[in-house]
Structure 1
Amino acid sequence: MDGMVIIGAGECGTRAAFALREAGWTGPVTLVGAEPGLPYERPPLSKPEGGSVQRKAICAPEALAGAGIRYLSGTAAAALDAAAETVSLSNGEVLRYHRLLLATGARPRRLACPGAERALDFRSHADAEAIFSRIAPGRPVAIIGAGLIGMELAAVLIGKGARVHVIESAPAPLGRAVPAHFARRLHDRHVAEGVRFHLGQTVAGIEAAGVALSGGGLIAADLVVSAIGVLPETALAEAAGLATGNGILTDAQLRSSAPGILAAGDCAAVAEPGGGHLRQESWRNARAQAETAARNMMGAAEPFAALPWFWSDQYDLGLQVAGLPRPEHQAILRPLPGGELAFYLDAGRLVAAAGLGAGNGTARDIKLAEMLIAAGARPDPALLADPAVNLKALLKSAQAA
């Protein structure tokens, strides 16, 4: 009996393997991971403990064995033959599949400047060890890119006493994913902590002495980290003739253009109800798509409809964003003790929410906001802005309506 094969042993692929068993699949399950060792979580990589980088395993070896999941670590998928329904592996093995899930994730976007090879990436456990092993108090570090990864890393490194410079071609940090109001607050906090920003600057090259800017000048740095985003890992799918764009293109059920092949996680660009495709990069999305993909691998036709969501920890501040806030939305701010919420209305309907506060101080409110969004709520803006109004009461009203 041909089994279920999953390429990619990150959060998405590993969760999908277990979800197949939970959904009742009793046939073979093979999980193929290019990195050696057990599957691990990526978020803890930026939070070293006791001077060492955390490698937090997603599951124990006993859990894989107990679920009857064959795990091939340190093994890459070399070729995919969609017509023959086979995957050739780097160890020479050829796997036949009943259904195939591509959970190949993403890879760091590469700098295209002289000396780019001097910059370190920050994506894998090996990357994190290479960076943190070279950090010392007073050591100058340049981070190229002021997105979420770059800003999170800056917060950690400044906390370790490094002298941190952040170089960003845009006029402000966090411009792509974070609502401008919260991006400004986080930027201000970084400046207060001592991070130096070089905004509106592009990189001319990386030298032994540091980073040369296109506008002139050199940012002295012993260590340079590239954090300019990631690209979906689509090479295997492209070579096999699958439709790709900003990711492996799928329908709403996570099915690719080839029969029997699904895609999920960071590599998947999923069809949207209104047209186009959306690719998401978050831990929760990886898990949610994995569970939907597993059920659909077994014959279901369940559309993936989870609300986009991500979080970021910087210093003692926790940011959460649910939905896709857009500049054209009506923004309603609600102050909280030690934090703030923002709600986003589109023609009166709540479509997104964001929160920034100490630790997980806004997590409960964001969860309630997600439930309001799911209920199709059209709350009174004045009630959303009033911190004395309980969001749970608004939810009950929306559900009753």
Structure 2
Amino acid sequence: MMIKVINNWKDFELLKPIWQTLLQQSDTDNLFLTWEWIDCWRKTRLEDVKPFIIIIEDANTVVAIAPFYLQNYRLLNTLNYHALRFLGDQSSGSEYSNFIVKKEASLELKEQLWRYLLSHEIKSAWDFIWFINISSWTQGGKTLLQALANVDELYYHSRTVEFSQVSVKQLPEDILPILSKSLRTNIRQTGRRLDKLGPWEIDIVDHTFDIQNELEQLFLLHNKHWENAGGGTFQRRPELTEFYRLFVPVALEKGWLKLLRLESEGVVQAMQLGYVYNNRFLAIQEGYNPDFLPGVGQVLRHFSYMHCQNEGIDEYDFLGVYTDHKRRWLAEKQLGENLFIWHNKLKNMPFRIKKIWPTGRYLTPS
């Protein structure tokens, strides 16, 4: 076997033909690890991103990928640090970070990747690793964490993070009776009010639509919904907006996109953006007109559930954070982890003394 580091985007582009094949052979096949997701992400970053992608080759065949990048940090505005982060983990909505390795040797290959980080060739290139949104309840998450625990020379703190998922295949054909009384009443009443206003419809965006115009409509509805709460996601995070503009057409072309729209009185009143990958629906963003009927977003989500059932989708994934709204929609809480990892060197001693995270006031990007 041979292990090497890819530190330029030209060599990353050469991995495209084999990346998806390896991902499909792994124990962690998800949308956020696709080559297309990462490629769109790096193209929409406002600053230069320095890739640090570790690959293992066996007989000239890539069998493992650890897709990191380098970011500089400062501790107490004094000490400089080189951090390894996971490609795509900022300004994209990425979840479920993991190494991409052959499933039949998952634990062994992931441990080999962790150990390589301590090798003489690259140990000096990094100080700590910030590894977020690990699905530790899945087989892929379990092998990643077990492999890390097997490497005594890597030290780490962990934090629990919540995710929300619904097993669609276990739901009855009609889900309204098992929803809360207030929710099902809201859906039924809003449906009747829509009927009184005249013809209305829900459709799914495909290649016959102008996808960029549809996306701008989603941004408008989302921002209008949240304008009284300090602005929507797309107003506050321009890099995320640019990522959507680039990735959504790619997702449409690949057959991953599910962009639903509810139209009434000749106007789009609500939209929901999601992706279907590996037979899972990923609920990404929504938007609705707050000046229209207040339950129109619930009606659209109910249709989304029914569509997933008709398509034979296994899971409706609300992704990160478990809220009361998601609970009311039958979501179950799943517990994942964020990891802060470092190795033994003098400048890393503060990490052993105190649980310092790169999300607080002490350790910040520089």
Please, what TM-score do these two structures have when normalized by structure 2? 0.27
Structure with bigger helix share is 2
Please, what TM-score do these two structures have when normalized by structure 1? 0.26
